[in-house]
Structure 1
Amino acid sequence: MTDWLIVERGDAPLVVSIPHAGMLIPEDVHGLVSREQATHDADHHVEKLYAFARGMGATILHSRISRTVIDLNRDPSGKSLYPGQATTGLCPVTSFDGEPLYVAGAEPSAAEILRRRSCYFDPYHAALRGEIDRLRALHPAIVLYDAHSIRSHVPRLFDGELPQFNIGSFDGASCDPALTNAIAAHCASASHVVNGRFKGGWITRHYGAPMHGIHAVQMELSIRGYAAEDGAWPPPWDPVRAAPMQAMLGAILATCLDFAKDQ
C-alpha cells in the first residue's frame, strides 16, 4: 500500500480492480485548467460501492490517482482501444465532453508521460499482476472484475442514455461466455448490454486469458443507478440510494466466485 494505491488482500479467486475512482492530483502535475475539471470524469464512489467485496474474500485494488494524471486502463503504447471512436488517451488532454484539461501549451510532454507511467501506471499493474499470479497459484481459475462507472449521458462518447449495466469481455476473448451470460442474467431486470459501447478496456484485454484460468470482465455502470446525476457534482455518496445496486452487484460477484470455484 502507498499513499495512492490501496491493495486489500483476500484469498478468494476474485480480484476487483478499481482504477478510475481516484480524485488525487499530485502537486507535481502542472498546467491544469482546474482541479474541478480534472476530476469531473472520475468513477465517483465506486470504491464505496464495492466495499462489501472485502467481506467475500476478494482482493481489491483501488487507485486514488485521478485518471487525468494517468489512465490506468489505457494501452500504455498509446494505441486507441476504440479506433474511429472518441476516447481519451493514457494522459488525457480533454475531458469526456471534449473540453481541454490543460491550459494551451501546458499539455504533458512525452517525458512527462513517461514519468507518470513510471510513478503510477507501472506500479499499479505490477501490483495487479502480482495479485493475479498469487491467487492463480491458489486456485485453478480466478475472475478479474474491473469496476467502472460513468455518467448516463455523454454525447461525445455515445448516443442517448447508456444502459445501467455495461458488461465487457472484449467480444468474448477475455472470459468464458458462460460467465458473461451469468452476469447478464443478474441484470435482466434493468437496462443492460454485453459488449456494447464498452467492450472492456486495457485491463480486461491485457489480463484476460480464459485458457489459462484468468477470466477478466469489465462492468461499466451508469452512475444514476447509485448516485444522483442531476444535482451538485461530484454527486454525494448516498448509501440508501446505493443499497439496491449493491445488492445486485453482490449477487454478480457471488456468481463470479461460484464460476471460478467450479472450474
Structure 2
Amino acid sequence: MPTALPSNPMSSEVTYLPGSTPLVLDSPHSGTHYPTDFGAALDLATLRRAEDTHVEKIYAFAPALGVAWVEAHFPRIYLDANRDTTELDTTLLDGEWTDPLSTDPQVLSKVRLGKGLIWKFTDDGEPIYNRLLSVAEVRARIERCWRPYHAAVAQAIGAAHARHGYSIHINCHSMPAVAGRFATDFPGLVHADFVVGDRDGSTASPALSALICEHLRGCGYSVEYNHPYKGVELVRRHGNPAQQRHSIQVEINRKLYMDERTLALHPEGLARLQADLQALVHKLLTNDPR
C-alpha cells in the first residue's frame, strides 16, 4: 500500500513505496490523473502525448525486490515535477510572481520552449491554455503536487543512504522516437533506444553510469550517454557522488514498448524491457560504488 508522508498531508497525488535496498526509482512523468482544475484548451488525447506513458508498468517489478518506488499521479503537462519551482514562465500568469526565478541560461532556454514548471506549449508547439493562470492556482499545484513528490523522493533516498552508506537513484523516463519541434534543443532528432544521463558525471559515479550503458548495450539496445538528455532537476537535486549519493536519469524510447499514436502497449516489447531492466536492477543491487 502507498505510504503517506506525515509532513505532507496532501500526498494523494504521489505513491511512495519504501524500500530496504540502496536503490530508489522514481517516475515523475507517467501520471494520468488529470485534475478538474486544469483548464487546458486542448483535448485529452493531445494532452496525453506529453506523458511518459506506462513507465510505471515497466518498473512494476521493482518494489518486490526491495527497491523504493516513487510515482506521480498528476500529469507532467499540468505540473512538471522534474523542474524546480524557479523554472516558471511568468507570462502564463495573471499577476505578479514574487518568489525567486532562475537566471540560469540553460534553464531559461527550456522555459522559452514552453517546458518550465508549468508547460506553455506541447512538444508540437500547440498552446496549452487560452487563458492566463492565476498565481493562486499555480501555488496550489506546487503545494498539492510538487512538494509532496519531492518530499517522497528525498525521504526515499535519505532512508536508503542511512541504511547502506550509499544510495543509487534512477530517475525513470521515456521519450518519443523522434524529438518534437518544441521538445528539446534538438528538434527532429531520432532517439536511441536508451539515453543515460548524469549531468556529465556530476550526479553519479561515471563508472556506475558506464555499468548501466554497458548492460543495456549488452542486451542489444542502442544507448547514448548525456545526449540529448543529461538529467534535470531530480538528479541535480539528489546526486552528489562525493557523498555516495548517485542519481542517474534513464530515458527509454517509447517505440520499444508502445504505439505512440494510440498509447497501446506492445506486450512483447514490455516483457523484454522488464526482463532486461530487472537484470539491471539485480546488477545495481550487487554493485557497491564506494
For 2:178, the aligned partner's letter is H
**Aligned-pair CA distance for 1:122:** 0.7
**Aligned-pair CA distance for 1:83:** 5.2
Partner SS, residue 52 of structure 1 = coil
For the Cα contact (< 8 Å) 2:175–2:251, is it kept in 1?
yes
Q: How does 1:123-162 map to 2 (within 5 A)?
A: 123-156=148-181, 157=184, 158=186, 159-162=188-191
For the Cα contact (< 8 Å) 2:114–2:122, is it kept in 1?
no
Indicate the larger mover: 237-246 or 178-187.
237-246
For the Cα contact (< 8 Å) 1:42–1:67, is it kept in 2?
yes
Number of residue equivalences? 257
Distance 2:65 2:257 in 1: 21
Of 5, 12, 15, 2:21 maps to: 12
**Aligned-pair CA distance for 1:82:** 5.2
Identify the residue that residue 258 of structure 1 maps to in structure 2: 286
**Aligned-pair CA distance for 1:262:** 5.2
Deviations 1:31-56 (A, max 9, x none): 43222222221001000000011122
Indicate the larger mover: 48-57 or 22-31.
22-31
Of 199, 219, 226, 2:230 maps to: 199
Partner SS, residue 96 of structure 1 = coil
Q: How does 1:141-220 map to 2 (within 5 A)?
A: 141-156=166-181, 157=184, 158=186, 159-188=188-217, 189-220=220-251
- TM-score, scaled relative to structure 1: 0.91
Q: 1:210 to 1:34 in 2, by over 3 A?
A: same
Indicate the larger mover: 157-166 or 45-54.
157-166
Of 202, 223, 226, 2:257 maps to: 226
Unaligned runs of 5+ in 2: 5-10, 88-101
For the Cα contact (< 8 Å) 2:205–2:289, is it kept in 1?
no
Distance 1:174 1:66 in 2: 26
Q: How does 1:23-38 map to 2 (within 5 A)?
A: 23-38=32-47
Partner SS, residue 133 of structure 2 = coil
- TM-score, scaled relative to structure 2: 0.83
Indicate the larger mover: 106-115 or 166-175.
106-115
Q: 1:72 to 1:240 in 2, by over 3 A?
A: same
Partner SS, residue 128 of structure 2 = coil
For the Cα contact (< 8 Å) 1:32–1:101, is it kept in 2?
yes
Q: Does 1:245 align with 2:243?
A: no
**RMSD of aligned residue pairs (Cα, Å):** 1.8
Indicate the larger mover: 132-141 or 33-42.
33-42
For 2:172, the aligned partner's letter is A
Distance 1:52 1:77 in 2: 34
Identify the residue that residue 8 of structure 2 maps to in structure 1: none
Distance 2:242 2:289 in 1: 15
Q: Does 1:100 align with 2:131?
A: no
Distance 1:84 1:3 in 2: 32
Unaligned runs of 5+ in 1: none
